[in-house]
Amino acid sequence: MEWSDLKLFLAIARFGTLGAAARSLGLTQPTMGRRLRALEAVLGQTLFQRTADGFVLTDEGASVLASAERIEEEALAMERTLAGGSRQLDGFLRLSSSDWFGAHVLSPVLAEFSLAYPKVVVELLTDSRHLSLSRREADLVFRIAPFTETEVISRKLIHIEYGLYISRGAPHPQAGDGTGARLVTMDEAFGGMPDVGWLKRMLPQAEIVMRSNNRDVQATLCANGAGLAVLPRPLGDSLAAIELVDFGEAPPGRDTWVGYHRDMKRLSRLRALLDLVIERLAH
């Protein structure tokens, strides 16, 4: 396998479509398709599943990807050494987190990272699904559930406090009752989350009027007077249009965990980003 074949494979894995991968390498889409078929024939393995949404790594492709990225790191390091250039990191990283965590907690850190390492392209996917590290759907994943996969290296990153919010200036309900109060809460698929049970216990007579699995949507609804909402403090405290409701007992908080595949532990750009995230957020 030649280095040019590895660059082609990595581009498809990172961009997910032949067209985008071809543009990144300055090739045509038919050329990319032809060379990929030739590469799979040489290896005797199908590296990607062809789906309506693009190219998804097979298990065999995920195994090749881990090795290909290590080779890429070595090749880039050698190119920099031979050129006498800087040790500036470059490459691509795909991250996954919840919508509100990505927008209100991660984004400032990612902006700082981008200024320090402008040649590293970071893609942040905000998705309620648990993206697979073993299938290389993401390089670094932030989520509220601990990682149980044996091939994943993980740690608890941060504990997030939650609060109950209401549109600023609106009358606060009484704890233990809630008659006449309106609630904006999680959709039924997330009905088992701790804050949903807390709301039912604290405001048993309140009426649910809106549901959403998106915390930013809940915050906007709350700010516009639709009803009370339990929100992560980093989100709720940032909005001037809403205020905390103090019942003497805060909603249960949540831990956020960060994980990456063990094959990625020597990837310099991932280590640089993870070190900054831990420095800025871990406590």
State the SS3 of the chain: CCHHHHHHHHHHHHHCCHHHHHHHHCCCHHHHHHHHHHHHHHHCCCCEEEECCEEEECHHHHHHHHHHHHHHHHHHHHHHHHHCCCCCCCEEEEEEECHHHHHHHHHHHHHHHHHHCCCEEEEEEECCCCCCCCCCCCCEEEECCCCCCCCEEEEEEEEECEEEEEECCCCCCCCCCCCCCEEEECCHHHCCCHHHHHHHHHCCCCEEEEECCCHHHHHHHHHCCCCEEEEEHHHHCCCCCEEEECCCCCCCCEEEEEEEEHHHCCCHHHHHHHHHHHHHHCC
Residues 78 and 197 in one domain: no
5 band by pLDDT with thresholds 50, 70 and 90: confident
Interval 146-190: pLDDT, tens: 998 888 999 999 999 999 999 999 999 999 999 999 999 988 766
- For residue 39 the two structure tokens come to 């590469």
Give the domain-ending residue among 82, 117, 138. Answer: 82
Nearest in space to 92 (alpha carbons), one of 265, 266, 257, 273:
273
Rounded Cα gap, residues 46 and 40, in angstroms: 6
Residues 110 and 232 in one domain: no
Amino acid found at 170: A
Q: Does residue 87 lie within any of the structural domains? A: no
Whether residue 198 lies inside any domain: the answer is yes
Regarding whether 137 and 104 lie in a shared domain, the answer is yes
Q: How confident is the model at residue 251 (pLDDT cuts 50, 70, 90)?
A: very high
**Residue-wise pLDDT tens digits, 202-217:** 999 999 999 998 999 9
221 and 263 fall within a common domain: no
For residues 183 and 236, membership in a common domain is answered with yes
148-151, long-range: CB within 8 Å, 24+ apart, which pairs? 149/259, 151/261, 151/262, 151/263
Domain holding 149, by residue range, is: 93-153+255-281
Give residue 46's pLDDT. 93
- Rounded Cα distance between 37 and 35, Å, is 5
User: Domain count of the chain?
Assistant: 3
Least confident of 108-112, 206-210, 262-266: 262-266
* CATH code for the domain in which residue 274 is found: 3.40.190.10
Please report whether residue 88 resides in a domain. no
**Sign of CA pseudo-dihedral 174, 178, 183, 186:** positive
Last residue of a domain, one of 51, 82, 113: 82
201 lies in the same domain as 68: no
CATH number of domain containing 47 = 1.10.10.10
Residues 137 and 170 in one domain: no
Mean pLDDT for the chain? 89
Q: What is the mean pLDDT of residues 3-28?
A: 88
Report CA Rg, the chain: 23
Tell me if 55 is assigned to some domain: yes
CA-CA distance, 61 to 67, in Å (whole number)?
10
Residues 147 and 263 in one domain: yes
What's the distance, Cα to Cα, between the start and end of the chain in Å? 45
Query: What is the per-residue pLDDT for 267?
Result: 87
Beta bridge partners of 67: none
Residues 125 and 259 placed together within one structural domain of the fold: yes
For residues 125 and 246, state if they share a domain: no
Please indicate, yes or no, if residue 39 is contained in any of the structural domains: yes
Is residue 235 a part of any domain in this protein? yes
Indicate whether 105 belongs to any domain: yes
Does residue 135 share a domain with residue 60?
no
pTM attached to this predicted model: 0.69
The last residue of one of the domains, among 82, 101, 121, is 82
Q: Are residues 189 and 203 in the same domain?
A: yes
Higher pLDDT, 48 or 137: 48
d(CA 244, CA 165): 5
